[in-house]
Chain A
Amino acid sequence: MLTDLTIAQARDGLRAKEFSAVDLTMAHLHAIEKLNTRLNAFITVSHSQALDQARAADAALAAGEARALTGIPLAIKDLFCTAGVRTTAGSKILGPFVPPYESTVTANLLRDGAVLLGKTNLDEFAMGSSNMTSAYGPVENPWKRKQDETAVLVPGGSSGGSAASVAARLAMGATGTDTGGSIRQPASFCGLVGVKPTYGRCSRWGVVAFASSLDHPGPFARTVRDSAILLGSMAGHDPKDSTSAAVPVPDFEAACARGVKGLRIGVPREYHSDGMPAEIDALWQQGLDWLRAAGAEIVDVSLPYTKYGLATYYIVAPAEASSNLARYDGVRFGARENGEDLRDLYERTRAEGFGPEVRRRVLIGTYVLSAGYYDAYYLRAQKIRALILKDFTDAFAHVDALLTPTAPSAAFAQGENMDDPIKMYLNDLFTVPANLAGVPAASVPVGLDANGLPLGLQVIGKPFDEETVFAVSATLEQAAGFTALPAIRAGG
């Protein structure tokens, strides 16, 4: 099956003329046609544009001008603006929006010859951990519980459609964005590799903003090497994003083969919690044993402020969101509800256009930034954020990378964790600190729980040292030999 190939295998096959880029794209478009009605992973499928790009890829291959991703079919989270292709951010308020410009990340993928299959579903404005807040409906996780095949599980979020599409073989890889765990948690839930690079590594230009100091574009793939290939193409300095880092992009793919001999891997003791399921704790210990066996030294470290990460995040992220989402007023673009006067137009447009989770966060953000409360909430949170960054800086003086679980559970069912917003927020307990500190982190699938659902481990690295993150991740991948497949997939 062409849809079962890795990106690295497809790249070789295309160059050896074993199949064409059109063959490869058609195989994925057929898979989407067959499975997307059920999974709801794509909001928009760019059928004819993808075929045009595939034909151009075949022409480039024939001319010997293949680039890093020539002919590779990818899915794009519907938070990246794509010229001429509707971009909704999972919200009603952007329902009619067709960007006239291309985000830098997708422009980089197109420059390298990728075929963009369409735009994937997500929690509204990337606010959620289950894809349940999308205005375009929930996404079904392609994995099933062994004992209960009728339960419909969530793919995680917010990049739920991207994760489901790659797991179900509807795309070979995908872009996501990670503000508090939105790449790593769905990667863990769907048995994929997901990478949140260093803040500033991938340009945010043309990505619909949620919380600008926390938003990180990054890749999903089925192998560590594939995720390295994708990140190599997505990354790079962009003068259009003032927070984009002017640093060279190393050869991430080569770093996957480095191994971990002589590396010091930190185990943050604060990540151990009484409530952690025994099988996740066991898998974490197993991961440490694998790294030790591969020549790494395991070191106990302390990140004392990490336990305040989530509460800090729920001040900083809503504050930035309330400011970023102020632009959606129904006047020059997007959906509009008419009102009696301008203020009424704004208020009706935003009440109608935003779902409950977005409204909740905009209101929290407005409150913590309002006169009289700014110092008590927002300024205090920024100071604690400085302490969290210092935790990582101190730890990385002694170790090369950290290993933790990615999420506190495997995928849960649609409808679960919906009764209390804080229960849903707790999904991001282990992932949020890396967003607050801007350090790179990846989730790697390493095992299955008792229900047969995938579980991931998280590797956290030093700023701009994704190479070590890839080296550790590839070592875990090799030791784990994760070969389990989701129940719902192309050709399955």
Chain B
Amino acid sequence: MSLDHATVRRIASLARIRVEEHEVEPLRNELNGILGWIEQLNEVDVTGIAPLTGATNMAMAMRADVVTDGGYADKVLSNAPERIGDFYVVPKVVE
């Protein structure tokens, strides 16, 4: 599978990364280089193999559904670009 110009634009849009028009072709070549190299995986027979989703087949741990932390809005907001009271002030996101 080889990416075309429009697909590179579509992926960048899905990833929410602005790509200037002059960057598309070099990027397309780089990505196709990597994807071409990955094609070697097609020679592996994976029939009947269950996918491994993590580093090990560990079971998820259960915990009590209770509040164990929190109550420090100042800390949470300490990196906010702008705030009013205990709220973030962000650029207008709803038209």
In the complex, chain A residues 308-327 whose Cβ is within 8 Å of any chain B Cβ: 308, 311-312, 314-315, 322, 326
Residues of A within 8 A of B34 (CB): 314, 360, 364, 421-422
In the complex, chain B residues 27-71 whose Cβ is within 8 Å of any chain A Cβ: 27, 30-31, 33-35, 37-38, 40-42, 44, 46, 49-56, 58, 60-61, 63
Residues of A within 8 A of B60 (CB): 242
> From DSSP, what is the main secondary structure of chain A's interface residues?
helix
- Choose one: B13, B41, B90, B91; the contact of A380 (CB below 8 Å): B41
A interface residues, how many (CB within 8 angstroms) = 69
* Cβ A213 vs Cβ B55 within 8 A: yes
Contact size class for B? 35 or more
Whether B17 sits at the interface, judged by CB under 8 Å, is yes
* Cβ A370 vs Cβ B46 within 8 A: no
User: CA separation between A386 and B49, bound complex, in Å?
Assistant: 7
Give the interface centre of B11, B52, B61 by most chain A CB atoms within 10 Å.
B52
**Residue in chain A with minimal CB distance to B48:** A383
* Cβ A364 vs Cβ B31 within 8 A: yes
User: CA separation between A98 and B77, bound complex, in Å?
Assistant: 11
* Cβ A98 vs Cβ B78 within 8 A: yes
Whether A5 sits at the interface, judged by CB under 8 Å, is no
* Cβ B11 vs Cβ A420 within 8 A: no
Residues of A within 8 A of B75 (CB): 100-101
In the complex, chain A residues 421-452 whose Cβ is within 8 Å of any chain B Cβ: 421-422, 435-438
* Cβ A308 vs Cβ B40 within 8 A: yes
* Cβ B35 vs Cβ A336 within 8 A: no
* Cβ B54 vs Cβ A332 within 8 A: no
Q: List 8 A-B contacts (CB under 8 A).
A: A350-B17, A360-B27, A363-B17, A383-B49, A383-B50, A384-B44, A386-B52, A387-B46
Known A-B contacts A213-B53, A364-B31, A422-B34; the reply to A96 vs B79 at CB < 8 A is yes
User: CA separation between A351 and B18, bound complex, in Å?
Assistant: 5
Whether A397 sits at the interface, judged by CB under 8 Å, is no
Shortest 8 CB-CB contacts between residues of A and residues of B: A438-B55, A382-B51, A199-B55, A333-B79, A347-B18, A351-B18, A100-B75, A386-B52
